[in-house]
Chain A
Amino acid sequence: MIDVGNINQAGSDNKNRPSLVGLKKGNQKPVSWEKVFGFLLISPLLLILILTIGFPVISAVFSGFQDQRIIGSPSAFVGFDTYLKVIEDSSFWDALGRSGLWVAVNLVVQTVLAFSVAFSLQQNGRWSKSARTWVVLPWVIPTVAVAIIWQWLLNSNYGVLHYLFGEIGVDLGSPFGDPATALFSVIIVNSWHWFPLGAVVIYGALSTVPTEVIEAAKVDGATPGRIFWSITFPILQPVLFALGLVGSLWSFNVLDSIYLITEGGPLEASTTAPVYVYDLAFSEFRSSQAAAASVLTVLVLSVAALLFVRFGRPKEDA
């Protein structure tokens, strides 16, 4: 995590803007007031984060070195034994692998949907205007309901989707009950639930693209593809970077969609890392192991985030 910080640090130093702002104009105002103001602005967020996740994280790291079963029961210090137990458990690595797949496929499906929706929303016309209000529908349904609705739509006895596909000769079979399709089926449901977020964010970012520049480019005879890659995309890039990085981390930690539909099953077919951790903590009651698995997961995620920051950061972005 320090490394992620360092990379960002290096990034922010690229432009050296902070010092320039203070020096360039030979302003009388002390530079420090601006910095103090900056810290004041940041402090509420830091305070909330320390309050809500600071203590749990410390207690997790601590718990990882113990051998506690049920939370609150007596335990002993066992050094790295608990960590080793997790590392030696092939289910842990399988779960991480599934999480990788989960994040990647969710990212692809949601990005495609979100982009096409965002572009459609941007156009003039009645459809786009009305769509701006209703496109959020799948997103505002609580996950509990999303899970139950999709199971109902796909049920082999009374599910309308199952029926409709049956009418055109396609047997949907058991999308959530077949180990080959369970994870992907949940991904589809999860993507349906979340794509409006991406669409709203991208639409917001598209709105910051100056229309005059695009008009000028059109007059110069640039093709839509060229306009996108040379004008729109560079402006979108910082927002897409944020969405891609934080969105992926966040989608990594999705537990409810999966747990409510398949409980990680059949067997372990849809057990991603968060499901694995939840099961360890509250089905198997191995709280120290769950804590150790979480700490290891955070380490793996940090490395992934670091790589993403290094290779995915927009070039002219600080």
Chain B
Amino acid sequence: MRTKTFKLAALVTSAALLLGGCAAPAADPAATDPATDSAAKGEIVIWHMEGVPNRVAAFDALAAEYNATNPDFTVRFETQQWDEIYPKIAGTAQAGNQPDILFAIPDFATYVRSLGLGQPVTDVVEGIDASQGLLDASKVAYQDGGEYWAVPLYGMVQLLWYNKVMFETAGLEAPKTYSELLATAKALTKDGVSGIALPAGKNLATDQVLYSLMITGGAANFFDESEGIALDSPETVKAFSLYNDLLEYSPKDSANYAWGEPQAALNSGAAAMAIEKGQYLTPWAAESGLDPSQLGCAPIPVADNGGQSGSIYYSNGAMVLAEDDDRRAGAGAFLTWLMQPDNYGDFLNAEPGLFLPVTTGGADLEQWRQNEVLSQYPECVDLLLKQSETGALFGFVDGQYVEKIGLISGQNIFAQAIQQMYVNGMPPAEASIWAQEQMKAAIE
């Protein structure tokens, strides 16, 4: 009961403070809609990473729509960069001027939490779950100590993308297993075309593709019960080995590739296959000059024996960093609004194909399915949705929450292990042990 009175008192004081604070600097007139200004108690600032114009435009439009509903707190999106966010959020944590909401992925969330930022959002998540139904995979990666630490917003998942024209000319079918994948890559490598384009740069792109292959090879969980790291399993070594073998049929400068280069290689006809997320849909037709029906998509091939379908799955969520109760409530209100079917479709359309719904009803959202890009690739969209169900992310497999994963993932140790094999000629078994030792050292 005491907390209730305390909360009430805090609410009243903070409201008073906020009102006073609002009146003083005569808030930038351009930033907020004059119609809503009088009613709002303040502004919620939201940081999201990646400022590609379509995403910014879609988010800004949603903010305007929300602000027009006369909420307690209006919202404003600000764009950050993945490359800069680690130092920046640490700096704001020290200075106490963090944003109210921060978009995150599970491993980044562990980093943000270790800076002393982030409030539990269990009530918001449970509320959304009750009304919209949230996919388990999207929630579990943010669940720790009985609380949720982010509101799941959208998922991202990988597929095998391929150029159907090349496959038809060569009389090939989409590969289903490791060995078929390797054979197909080999068969398609001729006349200056690479069978597959894979990233092997020292970056997260490389980590992601390798991890997808580890999942389909049965090596998704490399943490044992005591959170010890075991990367020397035969399944892991097989995935490492496959990646290294595939790189032989990937363009010769793959060791400097991240996300953009394999996609451009596939679209320009320089490569026949690539493994990546749903962002491949939007530019395909314009960049390749081919018909949407000529972009092939298939589940990521599985290990020859005992493999299971799957992919790396990133549940992107919104962390609430505001510490004041009132602002937290305002942040929760906006996120709840965002996940309502009417608004959620517009949100997903910010990045057609890359952003996948995390609500059970999301897959059937008309607004989303009828998107001008997605409606041209109905089969691939279905496949992306299907892969989401079996997706996983290292450190968060089967309900685990490895708090130290943030310390590991920042270093791109998987990518470095790939480079050990690819540019240094280290055998796969040795590279997997090398990666294991690096990860152990990282959390020491």
Contacts and interface: CB of A to CB of B under 8 A. Distances in A.
Given A173-B252, A285-B407, A155 B261 contact: yes
Contacts of B420: 267
Interface string A67-84: 001111100000000000
How many chain A residues sit at the interface, stated as a range, is 20 to 34
Nearest to B270: A157
A266 B423 contact: yes
Given A178-B423, A284-B442, A157 B255 contact: no
Contacts of B202: 262-267
B268 A158 contact: yes
A281 B407 CA distance: 11
B86 interface: yes
Contact of A265 (B116, B261, B419): B419
Most chain B beta-carbon contacts within 10 A, residue among A151, A175, A265: A265
Contacts of A282: 86-87, 410
Contacts of B114: 70, 73
A237 interface: no
Contact of A177 (B253, B264, B265): B253
Given A263-B203, A284-B442, A176 B256 contact: yes
A174 B253 CA distance: 4
Contacts of A259: 83
Interface in B371-428: 406-407, 410-412, 416, 419-420, 422-424
Contacts of A262: 201-202, 256
A279 B194 CA distance: 33
A284 B407 contact: yes
A199 B115 CA distance: 45
Interface string A222-266: 000000000000000000000000000000000000011111111
B256 A174 contact: yes
Contacts of B442: 284
B270 A267 contact: no
- Dominant SS among interface residues on chain A: loop
A157 B416 contact: no
Contacts of A179: 423-424
B251 interface: yes
A175 B252 CA distance: 10
Nearest to A185: B256
Contacts of A267: 202, 416, 419-420, 423-424
Most chain A beta-carbon contacts within 10 A, residue among B251, B254, B423: B423
Nearest to B87: A282
Given A173-B252, A176-B256, A279 B419 contact: no
B111 interface: yes
A278 B161 CA distance: 35
How many chain B residues sit at the interface, stated as a range, is 35 or more
Contacts of B86: 282
A158 B264 contact: yes
A72 B202 CA distance: 27
B435 to A, nearest CB: 12
A195 B406 CA distance: 39
Contacts of A266: 200-202, 255-256, 419, 422-423
B409 to A, nearest CB: 9
B116 A156 contact: no
B270 to A, nearest CB: 4
Interface in B181-206: 194, 200-203
B90 interface: yes
Given A157-B271, A174-B253, A70 B90 contact: yes
B87 A151 contact: no
A9 interface: no
B370 interface: no
A156 B424 contact: no
A283 to B, nearest CB: 4
B410 A284 contact: yes
B194 to A, nearest CB: 8
Nearest to B86: A282
A158 B253 CA distance: 12
A69 B407 contact: yes
A174 B201 CA distance: 12
B40 interface: no
A62 B187 CA distance: 60
Nearest to B81: A144
Interface string B96-118: 00000000000000010011100
B54 interface: no
A285 B201 contact: no
A284 B411 CA distance: 6
Contact of A70 (B111, B254, B264, B271): B111
B202 to A, nearest CB: 3
Contacts of A182: 256
Contacts of B201: 177, 262-263, 265-266
A179 B425 CA distance: 12
Interface in A117-164: 151, 154-158
Most chain A beta-carbon contacts within 10 A, residue among B256, B270, B419: B256
29 contacts: A70-B115, A72-B93, A73-B114, A154-B253, A156-B251, A156-B252, A157-B261, A157-B268, A157-B270, A174-B252, A175-B253, A176-B255, A176-B256, A177-B252, A177-B253, A177-B254, A177-B257, A177-B423, A178-B423, A182-B256, A259-B83, A265-B202, A266-B256, A267-B420, A267-B424, A279-B411, A283-B410, A283-B412, A285-B406
- Interface pairs A-B: 6 shortest CB-CB: A177-B255, A265-B202, A157-B270, A174-B253, A177-B256, A176-B256
Given A70-B115, A174-B255, A285-B111, 8 more contacts: A72-B94, A151-B261, A156-B253, A157-B270, A177-B257, A263-B202, A267-B424, A279-B411
Interface of B: 83, 86-87, 90, 93-94, 111, 114-116, 194, 200-203, 251-257, 261, 264-265, 268, 270-271, 406-407, 410-412, 416, 419-420, 422-424, 442
